[in-house]
Chain A
């Protein structure tokens, strides 16, 4: 009984590859839209482009982190073990977005002004939580 249910959820290699390719493109979309916006080819980044980029990257980093952490419980609930094959890509994307968020802050926002950066970090720990997330 259990075996047949799992059998139904088993994916062929080809199908997994397709799903992975689609996921790769989907996860890259928010970043692509930002890059296009910065080049003036996509939706405008508004009056404060640095803030917009930093916020968008940080939010997607958090979203992807939550999705990555949800993969393990989901594969049990849905009895879909193949989901585990997507987890590494999702995790790497979460890291990518968080890293880009941090680099945006460091390079575009703080302008690599190390004195200000170190002062900010030593001042208290909210820099790591994100100012906007603790804001009302």
Chain B
């Protein structure tokens, strides 16, 4: 292959389009300044501590489903939780979620329903009034919090898609974005995260589709922009950053159950009488109690026994844990 060295006269090959227009050339200092400015701004934007743009929500409080207890501090709720998509430490969701973009957002509704398709989150929420509910949250790791969620009843939303008689379960799928969620770059779980409820559990008035916390939109680390909360179940049942809702006839596979079936069942109801194979579930540590607070006894169905016990009448809860 001949190698051609540059020769005098080559400059004549310059295309007219390559020549800098005179006015730009004369203003080259301004151009440089503008470029530098834009670069700095871009750098600043990427290093800006957090795009923690939570905004105020309009809601009314649902007293019937709100505990009288003092909720945990916003600081504790937003810096101590599990969201393995951002890392396995409980500080990881707060530390690693700044790059996550919860907007725009859409959710696919699929399976055994008359109305299916992909819907913008705003369209899904539009017909519903937001309500605040102060719920207990009990983690399977034996710690607990009291959290003022903002959301809409899951059942009311699901009904609008007209599930058919074959819809026996509802499966939820979380978003898969390893580029924004560093925890997904490791095969800790089989990503994307999957969860599910029996249809009667999903239709239960306590099941909440959550969009906010403490009167504001959900911060990234708590499952923005849309998550599930079923307060009588262990926290991991509450799928975060939901992108898919599927009505199914068969019990859907769920992430933790797939990962360790002898430790995490499909139901995962809070039950002080059924221990985790590696620790007791009889008592829990309430976050915010400080150094010398003792563990509190865990309540059956996390204190929602009156409301939900009927769902499981006749079931062996040691078998269906």
Give A contacts to B, CB under 8 Å. 38, 46-51, 53, 108-111, 113, 116, 119-120, 123-124, 126, 131, 134-136
Contact = CB atoms under 8 A, between A and B. Distances in A.
B293 to A, nearest CB: 8
Contact of A46 (B91, B260, B294): B91
Contacts of A53: 291
B282 interface: yes
Given A111-B294, A136-B88, A48 B282 contact: no
| Closest 5 pairs (CB-CB, A-B) | A47-B80, A111-B294, A47-B76, A47-B287, A126-B278
B161 interface: no
Interface in B276-321: 277-280, 282-283, 285, 287-288, 290-292, 294-295
**Majority secondary structure of chain A interface residues (helix, strand, loop or mixed):** helix
Nearest to B80: A47
A131 B279 contact: yes
A120 B280 contact: yes
B280 A123 contact: yes
A49 B283 contact: no
B275 interface: yes
A48 B278 CA distance: 20
Contacts of B279: 120, 131
B62 interface: no
Contacts of A50: 285, 291
Interface in B85-102: 88, 90-91
A119 B272 CA distance: 14
A110 B295 contact: yes
A131 B275 CA distance: 13
Contacts of B88: 136
B295 A111 contact: yes
Contacts of B260: 136
B278 A135 contact: yes
Given A123-B275, A136-B188, A47 B280 contact: no
Contacts of B90: 47-48
